Every structure is written in structure tokens, then in C-alpha cells.
């Protein structure tokens, strides 16, 4: 149960940071969703490159990068 809460908080933080970097505003739920999907996307991409994110700070950095990529992709395909 604690791991789920930590994951949601870190996902929300990652989505919020990515929103600030990419100048994309959203609510708490949107930030959590973007952060969680971005974390999966970022982890998959660095895994393909042969790296891994070990630790909380590295995980947040990867999730922020993946979230920024997700926001960029959504902007390119939606507009």
C-alpha cells in the first residue's frame, strides 16, 4: 500500500515538473497520469539503450524525461 502511494506521489511530481518544463498546465490527476506513463516510457527507452535507473532520484529524472517526451508526442499528433 505504501509503495502505491509513493508511486502516485512521484508520478504526480514527475508530471508536474514535465508540465513546467514543457509549459503544459494540468490538474493533479493529469500530472499523475502523465508522470506514470512517462515513467514507463522513459524506463523503456533507457532500457533499449542499455541503461537502467536505480534509485528514486534517477527514477524521477527518467520519468520527467519520459513525461516531456510524452507531452511532445501528444502535441505533435493531436494538433
**Orientation of helix 2-21 relative to helix 56-78, angle to 10°:** 50
At 52-62, the pLDDT tens digits run 888 889 989 99
pLDDT higher than 90, residue 26: no
Q: Which helix (H) or strand (E) holds 68?
A: helix 56-78
Q: Where are the domains of the chain?
A: 2-78
| Euclidean distance between CA atoms 13 and 7, whole angstroms | 10
Tell me what pLDDT residue 20 has.
93
Can you give the C-alpha Rg of the chain in angstroms? 12
Asked if residue 57 lies in contact with residue 10, where contact means CB atoms within 8 angstroms, the answer is: no
- Is residue 4 predicted with pLDDT exceeding 90? no
- Where does the pLDDT of residue 27 fall: very low under 50, low under 70, confident under 90, or very high at 90 and above? confident
Query: Quick one: which of 32, 44, 34 has its CA closest to 4?
Result: 32
Amino acid at each position: 500500500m505504501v509503495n502505491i502511494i509513493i508511486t502516485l506521489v512521484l508520478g504526480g511530481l514527475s508530471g508536474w515538473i514535465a508540465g513546467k518544463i514543457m509549459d503544459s498546465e494540468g490538474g493533479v490527476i493529469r500530472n499523475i497520469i502523465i508522470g506514470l506513463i512517462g515513467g514507463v516510457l522513459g524506463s523503456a527507452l533507457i532500457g533499449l539503450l542499455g541503461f537502467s535507473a536505480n534509485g528514486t532520484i534517477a527514477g524521477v529524472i527518467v520519468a520527467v524525461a519520459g513525461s516531456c517526451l510524452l507531452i511532445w508526442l501528444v502535441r505533435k499528433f493531436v494538433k
